[in-house]
Structure 1
């Protein structure tokens, strides 16, 4: 496909993103985004971005289908869906963001449509459900649950974490921390997600990782080399190895990662000061180039994704750093 066709194909996937809160994401919008890259990089970036979005963009329809699967899962309702869900509790306890409210609305609408059950938000129950679209680091999920435990002191119950998918290290670390939190409370923890939406990001398996995890080839770029030296960054690079991958195409992954990292560094230098978790390849608390997630949803672009996808605000004043980069999938940000 040529660039016009690629821009159109990408726009067909992201059309209607965030309820058009940031404008109509048509082919002209995608073209405006890609023009910020050097001309000899644009074709590759468009092709690889389309490749990722095709499999990793979670649509409203896909989430609704997943909710229906959960609601009708026999292992959950035990053969009595109406009775079970009438006595379940849908937690609405997120400390930051509005994602849980939106996703709970979808859950409640499906539940009402199929079993005429409603009014189960934050009820007292023996079965609690925490709904989100995806687990990245798991930090937000853990903080939400910790506050809930401290405030409501639930005991002798089940907590069911329901997401489309997760990154392997995020679910594992969250599971370990929650089990420690639940000690002596008799709370059973269950995770529900699509097996095909479990993505690899553990250090041990970095060579088959399914997040942006650069190889040492990036050090050939002077911008990246200077950033590594400035931050005194210690990073375990990925080695190229044959493997099946749900996210990246094998042939051009290295070059795609290099380009996105290079522009992530360019963006991160636009403000005078950044919060320490802001990294070129997405928010991360560790000493890395960034979390580098490659998952997108109909309602939001996670801040764990590389900055070139979501950083910026075309409505920002001309003097503001947000005005210096046009995002493909804008997030709501605070101007400082």
Structure 2
């Protein structure tokens, strides 16, 4: 157990260090002990996939550098200065969100590699617009920002969507992680509002994809999603939800994925998914008063969806997405639950 905790620590040790949060092997063990007899299973599986789904600050900088290089090549620039003169990095999120933090990394990358800052070129006319974010899960925030961007007009009352069609400007979305299911929703949103031609013109770039679309073939299902069985607690919880949409997405088909690559083996996956779903239900049952309809054992979700949550397993140095299972981030006085990744700006 100590060896497992030590290995996990080496991956996640910079989590929220900037906020004076210090994860230690001891704290990892304390978190795992809350799963009682299943504590070793939880740590074994976490150790198996954590390096794949945890983005340290240094790894994020490497990703950002890769994104910049991709766009310089895509748009045919021979030097970074002209690229920066022509490019606007959209800054649309609140100051405590991930986009400003990534733009800070962008400026560090540009300074360290080219001795320039994108802020020195803000007043130049722009041809390229790039939207950075850490993760597209449900994608609602990104979808809203992108549709608002496409609907805005220039000084001649020409919509940005039209300018993209005329090849006057480009729009690119760069994320570290993208959920296939969430992306399909936002792509449909763009098509429905502006047409398929616009959708095809947008550049999407991600470093890691979560394959969780229940209707797509050969998905990895690199999330946690229980199989429907005889677990009374899990089945009863789902039936108690008043939500009505996407109930056929709630459970994972036992034959999916066809080949297990995320967990150590198929049987351990089933056990792991059941354990964290049950613990998430226990956490919700400790809430006194009204329970927010978007709160689910496997993370926050659209309140109209009759599912357990997205079961997202993706973490960054600065915060944990609220689409991740509650067992990782829940921290409420009196609930007697220790989070592995204490969340910030969660309420």
Which SS does the other structure have where 2:311 is aligned? coil
Residue number in structure 2 paired with 1:161:
173
TM-score (norm 2): 0.83
Please state how far the C-alpha of 1:35 moved relative to its aligned partner. Answer: 1.8
Structure 2 matches for 1:291-310, cutoff 5 A?
291-310=310-329
TM-score for the superposition, normalised by structure 1: 0.86
Whole-angstrom CA distance in 2 between matches of 1:75 and 1:181: 30
User: Structure 1 unaligned runs (5+)?
Assistant: none
Q: Is structure 2 residue 284 aligned with structure 1 residue 268?
A: yes
1:213 correspondence with 2:225 = yes
**Are the counterparts in 1 of residues 228 and 235 from structure 2 also a CA contact under 8 Å?**
no
Q: 1:5 maps to what in 2?
A: 3
Gaps of 5+ in 2: 164-168
Residue of structure 1 equivalent to 2:139: 138
C-alpha separation between the residues in 1 aligned to 2:123 and 2:11? 34
Q: Which residue of 2 aligns with 1:114?
A: 113
Shift of the 245–61 alpha-carbon distance from structure 1 to 2, 3 Å rule, reads: farther
Kindly state the Cα deviation for residue 61 of structure 1 after the two structures are TM-superposed.
1.9
Match of 2:67, SS?
helix
Is structure 2 residue 239 aligned with structure 1 residue 229?
A: yes
Tell me by how many angstroms 1:101 deviates.
0.6
Closer, same or farther in 2 for the Cα pair 1:278/1:121, shift >3 Å?
A: farther
- Structure 2 distance, partners of 1:65, 1:86, is 22
User: Which residue is 1:240 aligned to?
Assistant: 254
Whole-angstrom distance in 1 between the partners of 2:196 and 2:213? 30
Give the stretch that moved more between structures: 292-301 or 12-21.
Answer: 12-21
**Shift of residue 176, structure 1, vs aligned partner:** 2.7
Displacement after TM superposition at 1:129 (Å): 0.6
Contact 1:92 1:101 in 2 (8 A): yes
Shift of 1:185: 11
Q: Larger deviation: 11-20 or 295-304?
A: 11-20
Residue 281 of structure 1 contacts residue 291 of structure 1 at CA under 8 Å; is this kept in 2?
A: yes
Secondary structure of 1:273's aligned partner: coil
* Cα RMSD, aligned residues only: 2.7
1:68 counterpart SS class: helix
In structure 1, what is the Cα distance between the partners aligned to 2:262 and 2:153?
Answer: 39
CA distance in 2, matches of 1:334, 1:294: 17
Matched residue, 1:250 = 265
Matched positions, count: 321
**Cα 1:259–1:62 shift into 2, 3 Å:** same
